[in-house]
């Protein structure tokens, strides 16, 4: 794998591909960063360039203040993505990232710009479904850390390290606030094929909530369940990339949709 290259302050290309036929923009989960997607090019067709989105407050942007509002995050992120939409592109987002991908697609439509050829919403209830679980970002530190442990997305050695946790807790709280304070605004469904992914043992997202993504498109839709928990994109990564490749290949061959 080539050394990742920064395209701008918001995006990283794990495998720069100047002649790519399609760009896949990947938006991370709460607490995650661009590095989650660094290995993805190895499991995708070579004509696809992965563009990993790097919000403030993590990894190479660790010293920047993280956003805690989806609207503010999209407002800041959107202009940085526009110059990279010079060829066909798809959007993938896991958990919070699924909402980011969805809201970027809707912003593009409102502005009359070129739309993605595919949208992947992963590990998140459909945007129109209000969350009913108690918010986590308001918990005190011990309870918040316990909740992170149950979600199984943060290594135990990180959770047990007080120094590291002091550093990352503000980011994690801000990221959880983004998802937990998100308010859906009613708009017509997108004319973009959507694939929704879920984990069979995800305690946060039910199969019905994943299927509900179908209400957000007038184009093709299908849902896929993977064996893992909320972070199936880590444990079931090869299966996830195989499914994404399956959906993107017709686009690479000159078609649109599945």
Active-site pick, 13, 68, 95, 122 = 95
Per the CB < 8 A criterion, the answer to whether 199 and 229 are in contact is yes
13 is catalytic: no
Could you tell me which residues are beta bridge partners of residue 217? 190
Per the CB < 8 A criterion, the answer to whether 178 and 73 are in contact is yes
Contacts of 225 (CB under 8 A, 6+ apart): 197, 198, 199, 200, 207, 210
Residue 154: CA atoms inside 13 Å, Cβ hemisphere, count? 22
C-alpha angle with apex 244: 256 to 191, nearest 5 degrees?
40
Place of tokens 């995800």: 202
Contacts of 187 (CB under 8 A, 6+ apart): 106
C-alpha angle with apex 247: 151 to 223, nearest 5 degrees?
45
CA–CA separation, 28 and 97 (whole Å):
5
Q: Between β-strands 194-199 and 118-122, what pairing exists: parallel, antiparallel or unpaired?
A: parallel
For helices 96-110 and 162-180, the axis angle rounded to 10 degrees is 40
Q: Between β-strands 22-27 and 118-122, what pairing exists: parallel, antiparallel or unpaired?
A: unpaired
The SS3 of residue 175 is helix
Residues annotated as catalytic are: 95
């Amino acid at each position: 794998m080539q050394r990742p290259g920064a395209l701008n302050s918001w995006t990283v290309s794990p495998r720069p591909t100047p002649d790519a036929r399609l760009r896949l923009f990947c938006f991370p989960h709460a607490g995650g960063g661009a590095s989650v997607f660094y290995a993805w090019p190895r499991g995708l067709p070579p004509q696809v360039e992965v563009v990993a989105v790097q919000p403030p407050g993590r990894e190479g942007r660790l010293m920047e203040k993280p956003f805690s509002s989806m609207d503010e995050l999209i407002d800041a992120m959107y202009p940085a993505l526009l110059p990279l939409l010079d060829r066909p592109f798809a959007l993938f987002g896991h958990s919070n990232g699924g909402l980011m991908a969805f809201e970027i697609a809707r912003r593009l439509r409102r502005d009359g710009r070129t739309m993605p050829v595919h949208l992947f919403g992963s590990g998140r209830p459909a945007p129109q479904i209000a969350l009913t679980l108690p918010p986590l970002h308001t918990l005190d530190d011990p309870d918040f850390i316990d909740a992170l442990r149950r979600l199984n997305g943060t290594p135990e050695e990180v959770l047990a390290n007080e120094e590291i946790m002091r550093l990352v807790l503000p980011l994690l709280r801000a990221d959880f606030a983004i998802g937990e304070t998100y308010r859906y605004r009613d708009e017509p469904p997108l004319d973009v094929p959507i694939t929704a992914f879920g984990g069979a043992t995800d305690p946060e997202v039910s199969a019905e909530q994943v299927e509900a993504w179908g209400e957000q498109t007038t184009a093709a839709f299908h849902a896929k369940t993977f064996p893992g928990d909320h972070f199936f994109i880590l444990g079931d990564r090869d299966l996830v990339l195989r499914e994404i490749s399956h959906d993107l290949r017709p686009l690479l061959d000159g078609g649109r949709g599945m």
